[in-house]
Amino acid sequence: MSEALHPQSESELADMIRAGGPFSIRGGGTRGVLSQGTPLETGGLSGITMYEPGTLTMVVRAGTPMADIEAALADENQILPFEPLDMRPMVGSAGVPTIGGVVATNASGSRRVKAGACRDFVLGARFVDGTGMVVKNGGRVMKNVTGYDLAKLVSGSHGTLGVITEVSLKVAPKSEAVVLLAADGLSDSDAVAAMSAALTAPLDVSGAMHRGGGQTVIRLEGIRTSVVERLAALRQRLGSMGSWTVLDVEWAACADPSTLARQEGDIWCLSVRPSAAPDLVERAGAQEVLYDWGGGRIWMRVPEGTKLREQLGDFDGHATLICASPQIRATVGTFHPERAGVAKLSSALRRKFDPSQKLNPGLMG
C-alpha cells in the first residue's frame, strides 16, 4: 500500500486528486469499510469555522473529530439531533471518528425515527470531485432551494462522488428532560406493535427499540412538564401491551448495537418497513437482533457466511453488511444491489463526478 496522503487544505487536496489516484478516502477510518487505493486522510482539514448557537448553525471542516464538535455543542447545551453513531465498538476499529466520515456515510442513530437522518441536517457542503474540481453547494440557512441539492447527494455517497471538505450543519438545543419507558419479554411482533402504537400517537417519541428476547424501550424528550404529561399518555396507550416501567439508564446503554459483535458471526443492518421486520428477522435465521427506529432498522447477527439477501429474497428495503471477514465481504458485497434503473442513474452520476474512478473505486458499485 502506498504511503497515506494528508492534505492540509482544500486546494492541496484538489491538487492531489488531479495528480494521483485511485484513493481510499477516510476520516478516522473507524467505519470498517475501506476501498483499495492510496489512503487519503482528511484529518488535516480540521476545525470549526463558524458556530452560532443562536441560529442553530455550525460550519465545520470535514476532518474535525466528532469529540471536538460534541464538546463545543455541549458548552452551549446543544446537540446533533440525528444522534451520530460511533462505529468503533461495533467494527473494532481504533482511530478518531470525524464529521466527514459521519456525513459521507449518512450515519444516523436512534433519534432518526423522529428528527431525521444525518443528511436532513446537512445544510451545505464543500467537496472536491474526482476531477479535482472544488464545488460548493447549499449554504448555512435552514431553507434553500437554490439549484440542485448536491449537499444531500454527497452525504451518504461514501466518498464516491467527491471528498467532502466542509459541511454546514443544523444543530438543536439539548432536551431538558429524557425519560425511558421499558417492558421485558415481549415477542418481536408484539414489540413492533407496541412501538408502532407509541409512534402513531402524537407523543413525539424520539426513540423506539427492542432487543430480541429482551427489553423494549421507548424514549420521550422535551421540556420537563411536557415529558411528564406525555409519559402518562404513553403508559395509557401501551396499557395492556406489556408491563411498562420507567428505566433509570442512558438510552445508549439500551440501544447500543455493538453488543451484537461480542460473538462470532456476520453483522448486518437492514432498513425495512417496521411491520415487515419480525418476519424478515425470522427468515434471516438471526442469532441476535436489535430493532431500532420502531422496527424500521434492524441490526442482526447471522452465522458467518450467510447469504442474507438471497435468503430474504425481494423485500421493501435494503440490507448492508457491517461486519464480516474480507473474504465474505468480497463474496456477499457490502451494499444492497440497486434496481436496474437506479443502478444506471448511480453509475451515470459516478461517471460524471469521478470519470477516472479515483474516489473509493468499486466501494458502492
Partner 1 sequence: MEMPRPNAQVLARKQELVARLREVLPHDAVIDAPEEVKAYECDALTVYRCAPLAAVLPSTTEEVSRILAICHEMGVPVVPRGSGTSLAGGALPTADSVILGVARLRDVLEINTDDRFIRVQTGMTNLSVSGAVEHLGFFYAPDPSSQLACAIAGNIAMNSGGAHCLKYGVTTNNLLGVKMVLADGEVVEIGGAHMDAGGLDLLGVICGSEGQLGVVTEATLRILPKPEGARPVLFGFDSNDVAGACVADIIRAGLNPVAIEFMDRPILQAAENFVQAGYPDCEALLIVEVEGSEQEQADQLARIIEIARRHNPVAIRESASAEESARIWLGRKSAFGAMGQMGDYICLDGTIPVGKLPEVLNRIGELGKEYGHMVGNVFHAGDGNMHPLIVFDANVPEQLASAEALGAEILKLCVDVGGCLTGEHGVGIEKRDLMYHQFSTADLEAQMRVKDAFDPMWMLNPAKVFPLTASAERRREA
Nearest to partner 1 of 141, 330 (CB atom): 141
How many Cα atoms within 13 Å fall on the side-chain side of residue 38? 17
Give the 3-state secondary structure of residue 236: helix
313 binds partner 1 (CB under 8 A): no
The minimum distance between CB 242 and partner 1, in angstroms, equals 17
6 or 119: whose CB is closer to partner 1? 119
Instruction: Name residue, grid cell 455517497.
Output: 157
d(CA 332, CA 93): 21
Smallest distance from the beta carbon of 337 to partner 1, in angstroms?
Answer: 9
Sole binder of partner 1 in the list 22, 97, 130, 296 (CB under 8 A): 296
Which region among 15-23, 134-142, 252-260, 322-330 touches partner 1 (by CB under 8 A)?
134-142
d(CA 84, CA 92): 17
Minimum distance from residue 196 beta carbon to partner 1 (Å): 5
Specify the pairing of strand 38-41 against strand 23-26: parallel
173-202: contacts with partner 1 (CB under 8 A) = 173-176, 193, 196, 199-202
User: Which ranges of the chain would DSSP assign to H, the alpha helix?
Assistant: 10-19, 66-75, 88-91, 99-104, 112-115, 150-154, 188-199, 224-238, 251-255, 277-284, 308-312, 326-332, 340-353
Distance CA 136, CA 153 (A): 12
Asked if 45 contacts 63 with a C-beta cutoff of 8 angstroms, the reply is yes
Q: Does 342 bind partner 1 (CB under 8 A)?
A: yes
Among 30, 293, 309, 359, binds partner 1 (CB under 8 A): 293
Q: Whole-angstrom Cα distance, residue 65 to residue 67?
A: 5
- Please state, in angstroms and rounded to a whole number, the distance separating the CA atoms of residues 364 and 338: 10
Binding test (CB under 8 A) with partner 1, winner from 4, 96, 172, 241: 172
Q: Does 314 bind partner 1 (CB under 8 A)?
A: no
* DSSP state at residue 55: G
Q: Is 292 within 8 Å of 209 (Cβ atoms)? A: yes
CA–CA gap between residue 256 and residue 91 (Å, rounded): 13
Contacts of 225 (CB under 8 A, 6+ apart): none
Does position 328 bind partner 1 by CB under 8 A?
A: no
Assess 334 for contact with partner 1 (CB under 8 A): no
Q: Which is nearer to partner 1, 108 or 165 (CB)?
A: 108
Q: How many CB atoms lie within 10 A of CB 276?
A: 17
| Closer residue to partner 1 (CB): 5 or 194 | 194
Nearest Cα to Cα of residue 277 among 257, 259, 297, 258: 297
Site string for partner 1, 45-84 (x = CB under 8 A): -------xxxxxx---------------------------
Count the residues of the shown chain that bind partner 1, applying the rule CB under 8 A: 85
Q: Which stretch binds partner 1 (CB under 8 A): 22-30, 86-94, 252-260, 348-356?
A: 348-356
State which H helix or E strand residue 246 sits in: strand 244-247
Give me the least distance between CB of 151 and partner 1, in Å please.
8
CA torsion sign for 234, 238, 244, 247 is negative
Contact with partner 1 (CB under 8 A) among 38, 46, 93, 144: 144
Is residue 222 close enough to count as binding partner 1 by CB under 8 A? yes
| Binding status of residue 100 toward partner 1 by CB under 8 A | no
The footprint of partner 1 on residues 13-42 (CB under 8 A) is none
Among 1, 19, 94, 147, binds partner 1 (CB under 8 A): 147
CB of 58 to partner 1, least distance (A): 12
| Member of 7, 101, 130, 274 binding partner 1 (CB under 8 A) | 274
Q: Which is nearer to partner 1, 41 or 251 (CB)?
A: 251
Provide the minimum distance between the beta carbon of 4 and partner 1 in the complex, in angstroms, as a whole number. Answer: 26
Measured between alpha carbons, how far is 54 from 43 in angstroms, rounded to an integer? Answer: 28
For position 272 contacting partner 1 by CB under 8 A, the verdict is: yes
Binding flag, residue 106, partner 1 (CB under 8 A): yes
